[in-house]
Amino acid sequence: MSVNWHYFRAMNRRPTTTIPKAATGNVKNLYELTNYKADTRQYGVTGRAWRAEELRLKSHDDLHKLWYVLLKEKNKLRSDLLVSQQLQQMFYGHSDILKVKMSMARLLTVVNERKKLRNEYRKHLEDEYIASKKAQEQAAIAAEAEKLKEQGKKAPLTEQQTKEMLAKRAAAR
C-alpha cells in the first residue's frame, strides 16, 4: 500500500467536508469524496523473519544492506498503519511489523557478536605484540648487561634481581 503524501498535507488543514463515522456508500463513493483509493488487495501470507543462523552466514556488506531494507520496510508498514488508523480502516500488517522488528533485533545481535569477537581478537593480538616486545627488550637488556660484565663494569640489576632484593629488604624489617 503506497502512501499519498499530498493527502496528509491536505489532512493537516481544516477540513471543509467531514466524513461521518457511519458513512454509507461504497469504495467508489469514498474515492469521489476523499480522492483516497481504498486498498482492495487480498492480504496473503508473507514470509518469515530472518533467523540468526542465516544472518551469521552473511557478509558485513550484506547485513548493512539488509538493515536498510528492513528499515525501509518498517517505515512503510508504520506509515500504512498510521494511514489505516486515520481512515479508521483495518490494518493487516501487524504480524509483518513484528517480523521486521524481530529480524532487526536478530541482525543487531549478530553484528554485536561480531563486534565482540573482533574486540577480543584485537586484544589477543595486542597482548601477543606486547609480550614479544617485552621479550625483545629483556633480551636486549641481558645482552647489554653481559657486555658490561665483559668490560668489567657493574651491570644494572635485572627485573628479577630487583624483585628479589626488595623481598629480602621487606623480610629483614
Q: Residue 25 pLDDT > 70, yes or no?
A: no
Q: What is the pLDDT of residue 8?
A: 58
Nearest-angstrom CA–CA distance, 121 and 147: 39
Residue 78 resides in a domain: yes
Q: What is the mean pLDDT of residues 92-110?
A: 94
* Structural domain for 53, as ranges: 48-163
Q: What is the pLDDT of residue 164?
A: 92
Using N-to-C axis directions, what is the helix angle for 94-150 and 60-86, rounded to 10°? 150
Three-state SS for 119?
helix
Residue 4 resides in a domain: no
Higher pLDDT, 24 or 85: 85
pLDDT band (50, 70, 90) for residue 102 = very high
Residue 173 resides in a domain: no
Q: Are 107 and 50 in contact (CB under 8 A)?
A: yes
Q: What is the mean pLDDT of residues 27-56?
A: 71
Residue 29 resides in a domain: no
Residue 134 resides in a domain: yes
Three-state SS for 93?
coil
Residue 25 resides in a domain: no
Residue 172 resides in a domain: no
Q: What's the number of domains the chain is made of?
A: 1
pLDDT in tens, 78-100: 998 998 888 888 888 899 999 99
Q: pTM, whole model, 2 decimals?
A: 0.59
Q: Residue 76 pLDDT > 80, yes or no?
A: yes
Higher pLDDT, 22 or 149: 149
Distance of CA 152 to the CA centre of its chain: 64
Strand (E) or helix (H) holding 60: helix 60-86
pLDDT in tens, 125-155: 999 999 999 999 989 988 888 888 888 888 7
Nearest-angstrom CA–CA distance, 130 and 135: 9
Find the angle CA(111)-CA(115)-CA(117) to the nearest 5 degrees: 120
